Structure 1
């Protein structure tokens, strides 16, 4: 086999696992972003339910629970934004 064919084959053999790793990393980021959004939606729904289930104007515990759940939702949304930002970075080549 000519030397340049061996180099081409070696390059091709190295490229395939690298592409697979990049693709896998992208899927991991997408999954993380999706999970963070789902968790934020759940936390927001819980906060809404806490407010709806009681007279929030007079129940300080319900307000505190809702506040904690909204804070948690905000944290999940921050995580989702971080993942989305990572997904939109240009490929490093």
Structure 2
């Protein structure tokens, strides 16, 4: 099993950081591809981050309420094969 980083996405051209609003899964919980894993927000909007592949949430790096820079790892998903990214 390989791990995939869940990173803070850039929601707008001027966005440099975002806040983790809600984790919708807990560490150890299985997820399916396309499932909402976490909701993040910028100054202007909130957006759901979807699992890119099926797997298990291995780790929450940034807790609810914490700020992360664009591209910073906020969690890790243990993927059960399929993708070689």
TM-score (norm 2): 0.22
- Greater Rg over alpha carbons, structure: 1
Structure number having the greater helix percentage: 1
Structure number having the greater strand percentage: 2
TM-score (norm 1): 0.21
